[in-house]
């Protein structure tokens, strides 16, 4: 508790949530999300010449919203975290921060949680809009909670990447570019490699395990597996690996998250022993 509730986190919370622009951005985001849902319902109901919205269409709408939210997370998280340490260094306030009684772990974790807190607020605030799908059926509450939990995992994992590069790289702009490049690789690069490996890996069951290990790194594939389990079943059939894809990603992302935080904590004070 002492590690989580520290002065660094409290200061960052006050700076981020006292600004009227933050809540104005949240309002416009929720309005845009509502317009997407209403527009989708209207287009789908009019395309069949009726005023009915069927449960299978509600499922499609939920999938579209889920991918939009995940894309938002991958786009916004690097911008929120890639300058938390390098920005202090550029403003020449990092040395002052390091002279306080806060440990390196307290500073890093406080910076990480405070930087992604607004994004977590946006995700939680959008949950009532997600509940619209329950009016039409096709989606279970467990799926909604699963997707929400997966969002939180992705936010902290990719947030740790931003904190890592912000600690290792002195300039914020270079740190941000590196973080965005990493997120682009995980989202787009692994998707391309997955498609290529599926095409050239053969169609016989257990012909190649490569697509499975590539799919582990891609957040969109695992999210699709939550919404369409048949995709994961096809990956398991072709690769011959029956271990759940989401569990493998949880292990890999957990290791990457831990390593990123450990390196950030160690390199924050490179010439001093961290506590």
**CA–CA separation, 73 vs 155, rounded Å?**
7
Tell me the H-state helices in 185-244: 190-200, 210-217, 219-227, 229-239
Share of the chain above pLDDT 70, in %: 82
16: tokens are 């981020």
Domains in the chain: boundaries: 7-268
Q: What is the pLDDT of residues 7-53, one digit of tens each?
A: 666 666 666 667 777 778 788 888 888 888 878 777 777 766 666 66
Q: What is the pLDDT of residues 95-108, one digit of tens each?
A: 877 787 778 888 88
Choice among 61-70, 96-105, 131-140, 157-166 with the minimum mean pLDDT:
131-140
CB 81 within 8 A of CB 179: yes
- For residue 15, the tally of other CB atoms under 10 A from its CB is 11
Choice among 13-17, 113-117, 145-149 with the minimum mean pLDDT:
13-17
């Amino acid at each position: 508790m002492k590690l989580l509730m520290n002065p660094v986190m409290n200061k960052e919370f006050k700076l981020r949530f006292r600004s009227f622009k933050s809540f104005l951005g949240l309002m416009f985001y929720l309005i845009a999300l509502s317009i997407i849902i209403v527009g989708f319902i209207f287009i789908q109901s009019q395309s069949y010449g009726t005023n009915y919205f069927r449960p299978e269409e509600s499922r499609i709408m939920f999938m579209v919203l889920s991918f939009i939210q995940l894309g938002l997370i991958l786009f916004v998280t690097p911008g929120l975290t890639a300058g938390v340490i390098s920005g202090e260094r550029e403003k020449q306030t990092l040395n002052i921060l390091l002279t306080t009684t806060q440990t390196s772990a307290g500073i890093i974790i406080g910076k990480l949680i405070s930087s992604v807190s607004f994004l977590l607020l946006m995700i939680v605030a959008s949950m009532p809009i997600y509940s619209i799908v329950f009016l039409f059926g096709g989606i279970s509450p467990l799926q909604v909670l699963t997707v929400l939990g997966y969002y939180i995992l992705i936010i902290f994992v990719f947030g740790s990447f931003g904190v890592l590069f912000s600690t290792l790289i002195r300039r914020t702009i270079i740190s941000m570019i590196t973080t965005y490049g990493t997120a682009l690789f995980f989202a787009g690069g692994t998707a391309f490699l997955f498609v290529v490996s599926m095409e050239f890996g053969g169609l016989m069951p257990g012909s190649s395990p490569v697509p499975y290990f590539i799919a582990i790194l891609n957040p969109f594939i695992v999210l699709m597996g939550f919404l369409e389990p048949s995709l994961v079943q096809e990956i398991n059939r072709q690769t011959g690996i029956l271990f759940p894809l989401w569990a493998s990603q949880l292990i890999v992302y957990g290791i990457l998250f831990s390593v990123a935080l450990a390196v950030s904590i160690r390199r924050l004070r490179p010439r001093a022993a961290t506590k």
